[in-house]
Structure 1
Amino acid sequence: MLRKALQRSLPSLGRSISTYQFLKIETPSPKVYHVQLNRPEKRNAMSLEMWYEIGEAFDELSDTSDCRAIILSGNGKMFTAGIDISAFISVVPQQSDSAHKSLSLLKTVKKLQDSFTAVEKCRKPVIAAVHGACIGGGIDLICGADIRLMSSECYMQVKEVDIGIVADVGTIQRLPKIVGNQSLVNEYCLTARKISSDEAARVGIVSRVLVDKESMIEEAVALAAQIASKSPVAVQGTKSNLVYSRDHTVQEGLDRVALWNSAMLLGGDPIVAMSGAGEFEDP
């Protein structure tokens, strides 16, 4: 499909992963992969091709054995300007019948949703590092991440009402659970006002604010490296159960983690972790 057949070797790991046209993937630390949105000349505006590549890349990294943590950022002056409006004109179905148009558009929207949900479903923890601006679809994207960092000059904006559409790929569903204040999220979504880095940190959209992009990426790499040093079985199990428990009752979450640990505690990672001896195996 959109993914190029060409494979490239990552020198620091000696592994090969797919090459993407609109994503730049590097390995700044062992077991850590850095995925960058890579249309800097377009302020990383998300075309359909980039959108689908995001889903493909996170599906691939989820199954890459030596990947234990992922950083998601944007190359250039900003994280993303959101939807590439000119590219999305092609989404409008060409059928003459309105019912058939609706079904065709529904299929496209579901594909777009799945591409961003791949970030949340990825078995490896994802750290979003946001600079410059994070507009529209960018917020949908980072809401699927596990940890979010932001540079001080950055702002966010749920922009969709300004272009006459409803945010439909994750913000409306995930942001209220991140912030914990439905009134405030309603305000963001209905007014499209800008959210400063200070406000984003204060209301819990991001964990912390760093002075600039460089220090933010350094912090993201250090955080990802710390996660990558832990048992991959424990880390991936923790992410899985955190996401599950967010959407289920306390008892359902307890039942699930009990089943998880009844299997995983029989493995060797707890012995390695508690003894401090040896390295964890890649799953």
Structure 2
Amino acid sequence: MELFNFNTLKTSLCKSTKSLTISLNRPENNQTINKEMLFELESIMNWLSSKVEISSVLLTSTSSQFCTGIDLSEWKSSTTDELLAFQKRITKISKSFSYLPQIVICDLKQNVSAEGIELACGADLRFSRSGMKMKFNFLERGLMPSSAVYQSFSNLFGMQNLKNWLYTNSIVHTDSLVHSGVLTGLYFEQEELTEKLSHIESLSPLARMQSKLAFKVFDVDLEKVQDERITTITKALLSIEDWKSEKGQFTAAREIGSKLKREEMNRQFA
């Protein structure tokens, strides 16, 4: 049963498992996140926050890849502050998963990269097809991971793993992801995910919601400070505007200081 008339998302409700499936639906654009998709995700998160009768949410896509991050082609004529605000909205969605009364399961399909990883980090459980490939290609796009990614790896998956995957061009495969805890497990048939949703539906609703709330006790106090610090670092990076450049045409390290000074003078005399 389709619940919403969205352009970039498909939604369906399964009564037997009391679950809502949200499918990213931009296959012709490699399931990138554009402005319309972000707005639709925000809308459905707000709707879910009060729907305690729904036990679980399955976040997936309509193609073989889950999500490949921000559609940077939309941002070539935009300012640093505009892109930063957009990134922060993605981070807010990722973090909102932990506050929803439902258990959020992310199906990474066969491929995920960049900000698609950030969305997945916010889920309670993550599954993928056997052989799924995860690519941490933030830096080669002139961007960096958000606070949500850093916090997830600091608290759950290990900072050294994040360093290994950020600073090498290797594609991370499922064995490493399961071992590190990034992936809950693998599946071969869609019915296996349905079984997980059915099990969640069988749990005590109050026990499920309260146990999920208890996990926030361990990280909520640090989140604001971490967010502020990483936002400052990210804004400095975005102001160089390497995200508007092609790979191999990034600003040289020696030129960064003079470029920032020129931009500051332009702002003062604008």
Report matched runs for 1:230-269 at 5 Å.
230-247=203-220
Q: 1:169 to 1:219 in 2, by over 3 A?
A: farther
- The counterpart of 1:44, out of the listed 31, 34, 51, is 31
Query: Over residues 163-209 of structure 1, what are the superposed CA-to-partner deviations in whole Å (9 max), with x where a residue is unaligned?
Result: 11112262122123221x22221111233531101111111111111
Query: Over residues 83-122 of structure 1, what are the superposed CA-to-partner deviations in whole Å (9 max), with x where a residue is unaligned?
Result: 21212335x22xxxxxxx64x5544433232232222222
Give the number of aligned pairs. 221
Flag as ranges the 4+ runs of structure 1 deviating above 3 A.
104-109, 246-249
Q: Does 1:195 align with 2:172?
A: yes
Which residue of structure 2 lines up, in the alignment, with residue 186 of structure 1?
163
SS in 2 for 1:149: strand
Which residue of structure 1 lines up, in the alignment, with residue 70 of structure 2?
83
Q: Is the 8 A contact 2:23 2:59 kept in 1?
A: yes
SS in 2 for 1:134: strand
Return 5+ residue gaps in structure 2 as ranges: 223-270
Which residue of structure 2 lines up, in the alignment, with residue 262 of structure 1?
none
- The counterpart of 2:91, out of the listed 109, 113, 120, is 113
**TM-aligned CA deviation for residue 248 of structure 1:** 6.2
Q: Is the 8 A contact 2:4 2:11 kept in 1?
A: no
Residues in 2 aligned to 1:183 and 1:232: alpha-carbon distance in whole angstroms: 36
- The counterpart of 2:117, out of the listed 139, 148, 153, is 139
**TM-aligned CA deviation for residue 210 of structure 1:** 2.0
Residues in 2 aligned to 1:105 and 1:82: alpha-carbon distance in whole angstroms: 13
Residues in 1 aligned to 2:217 and 2:192: alpha-carbon distance in whole angstroms: 27
Q: 1:108 to 1:46 in 2, by over 3 A?
A: closer
Residues in 2 aligned to 1:115 and 1:60: alpha-carbon distance in whole angstroms: 13
Query: Over residues 207-228 of structure 1, what are the superposed CA-to-partner deviations in whole Å (9 max), with x where a residue is unaligned?
Result: 11123xxx1x322221112111
Residues in 2 aligned to 1:234 and 1:153: alpha-carbon distance in whole angstroms: 34
Q: Does 1:22 align with 2:15?
A: no
Which residue of structure 1 lines up, in the alignment, with residue 43 of structure 2?
56
The structure carrying a bigger helix percent of its residues is 2
Q: Is the 8 A contact 1:157 1:193 kept in 2?
A: yes
Give the aligned residue type for 2:8: F
Residues in 2 aligned to 1:76 and 1:131: alpha-carbon distance in whole angstroms: 8
Query: Over residues 106-141 of structure 1, what are the superposed CA-to-partner deviations in whole Å (9 max), with x where a residue is unaligned?
Result: 444332322322222222110111112111011100
Give the aligned residue type for 2:50: D
Give me the TM-score of the superposition, normalised by structure 2. 0.74
